[in-house]
Amino acid sequence: MTAHSRSKKRLAREAAEERASRMAYVGTLASGLAHEIRSPLSSIKLNLDLLREKLAAVPEAQRSEFESRLGLIAREVDGLQELLTEFLTFARPPKMQMMATDVNDLVSQVIELAMPECERKHIEIVRCFQKDLYPVALDQHQFGRGVLLNLLTNAREQLGEHGTITLRTRERQDSVEIVVEDNGGGVPEDLEERIFDLFFSTKEHGTGLGLAIARRICQEHGGDLVLENRPGHGASFIARLPKSRILEYDSGESLRSKDADGSEHEPPEPQ
């Protein structure tokens, strides 16, 4: 195969991956929105039923008009509920493409994406990576963009025109953690509980979807996303991923990175 056709193939594969990750993102957004619409619709339906029960109290002259208008609203609400059910079935995000991943590599790739805008805003990015991390199974596009890039973007937006974002990686007994830390003042204490809510935003043009999606993706990986807040100083968001048991029994090449001398590390004993 020529170098030209290899690079064409690589570009096509990257474009397909990009499309798949965008679809996954849109799917998560759409189903989040559909869930949010569902509960006010149920409440409309409930109140409508209560009003219909009181029709007998409406004066005779207006009763049939009330009845037909309430009936019309009820049919529309039923239609919308059906549409939402169908839509939720259709928009379920695609299955995750899990791959054994060196988290340090993935974080570095995402830093590259965020770097130009950070440089423009005089924001420094500091890496504190634990060497030779245990590999984790994750969907690199969903986790890279939906979690890491969202957290980096929030940190940058919080910092404004200057500041420092520190990316840490570290291994715990059962998990690998990625910490996105900034020195931008942190989250006001009374908002700590709300920032992960769908559509909660304090920004003029924010949709309030970023953290809700990021947490959902972490949870779909069997992990979690938590805030370690230092009000007045800064915020750290900790994405926690479980060490995968599948990888421990992988019979292929050792997934641990190699030392400079080429010697490999064995995965640790199952916990």
Residue ranges in contact with ligand ATP by CB under 6 A: 154-155, 158, 182, 184, 186-187, 195, 200-203, 206-212, 235
The rounded distance, in Å, linking the Cα atoms of 134 and 104 is 10
Toward ligand ATP, which CB reaches closer, 211 or 218?
211
Per DSSP (E only), the strands in 55-107 are 98-101
Toward ligand ATP, which CB reaches closer, 101 or 236?
236
- Please answer whether residues 196 and 210 qualify as being in contact, where contact means their C-beta atoms are separated by less than 8 angstroms: no
The rounded distance, in Å, linking the Cα atoms of 29 and 17 is 18
- Please answer whether residues 178 and 238 qualify as being in contact, where contact means their C-beta atoms are separated by less than 8 angstroms: yes
The rounded distance, in Å, linking the Cα atoms of 84 and 164 is 43
Q: State the binding partner of 158 from Mg ion, ligand ATP, none, CB within 5 to 8 A by kind.
A: ligand ATP
Q: State the binding partner of 187 from Mg ion, ligand ATP, none, CB within 5 to 8 A by kind.
A: ligand ATP
The rounded distance, in Å, linking the Cα atoms of 103 and 107 is 6
Toward ligand ATP, which CB reaches closer, 80 or 113?
113
Least distance from ligand ATP to the Cβ atom of residue 23, Å:
18
Q: State the binding partner of 223 from ligand ATP, Mg ion, none, CB within 5 to 8 A by kind.
A: none
Toward Mg ion, which CB reaches closer, 183 or 244?
183
**Shortest CA distance to 77 belongs to which of 55, 51, 59, 56?**
51
Least distance from ligand ATP to the Cβ atom of residue 13, Å:
28
